[in-house]
Amino acid sequence: MMKISLLIIALMCSGLVQADILVIVNAKNSVVALERKQIVDLFMGRVSAFPDQQRAQTLDLKTGTPLRADFYKRLTGKNEAQVDAYWATLIFAGRMSPPKQLADEKTLINEVANNVNAIAYVTRQALPKNVKIVMELPAQE
C-alpha cells in the first residue's frame, strides 16, 4: 500500500497525472451542452457563434501555459505550435481573430462570469454560480 501511495505522489509531482478540463460558459447563456466538434469549431475559428446563433467570444490562456497546450492536444490532437501556426495563417489571410488570451484560470472564470457570450476552459474546480459547464474533457489515461 505504501508503494502505491508513493507512486501516486511521484506521478502527481511529475505532471503525468492530468486533471479533467471543463469547458464553461456564462450561466445565462442558453447553451446547455456542446459536442466536441462544436467546441473545436469555436476555438479554431471555423464558427463565431453558438448553435443558437448567439455570438461567441472564445477565451484562451496565454501561449506557453501547460493547460492551454493540454486543452488543444486533447481537443484537436494538435500541439500548441501547430495551433499557433494555424492561427498565424488565418490572421495573415485576414480571415479571423484568435481567441482572446488571458493570464490565468481565475481571470478566465471572471471573464466568463461577466460575459454572456464568453466560452473558456479550466481545470476541474469549484465554479461560481454564474458559470456553467457545457462539456468535459476527461483526463487522459
Q: What pLDDT digit, counting tens, does each position of 105-126 carry?
A: 999 999 999 999 999 999 999 9
Phi-psi region for residue 86, left (φ > 0), alpha (ψ -120 to 50) or beta? alpha
For 51-93, write each residue's pLDDT tens digit.
999 999 999 999 999 999 999 999 999 999 999 999 998 888 7
| 119 neighbors 23 (Cβ within 8 angstroms) | yes
The percent of the chain in helix, strand and coil, each rounded to the nearest 5, is: 40, 20, 40
Give the residue among 139, 130, 135 at the shortest CA–CA distance from 109: 130
Rounded to the nearest angstrom, the gap between the alpha carbon of residue 136 and the centroid of all alpha carbons in its chain is: 10
Instruction: Give 55-123 as a DSSP string.
Output: B-EEEEEPTT-HHHHHHHHHHHS--HHHHHHHHHHHHHTTS--PPEEESSHHHHHHHHHT-TTEEEEEE
CA distances (Å), origin 92, targets 7, 85, 87 = 47, 10, 8
For 9-67, write each residue's pLDDT tens digit.
444 444 444 689 999 999 999 999 999 999 999 999 999 999 999 999 999 999 999 99
CA dist., res. 112 & res. 59, Å (int): 8
Cell readout for 136 is 468535459
pTM: 0.84
Sign of CA dihedral 64, 47, 33, 118: positive
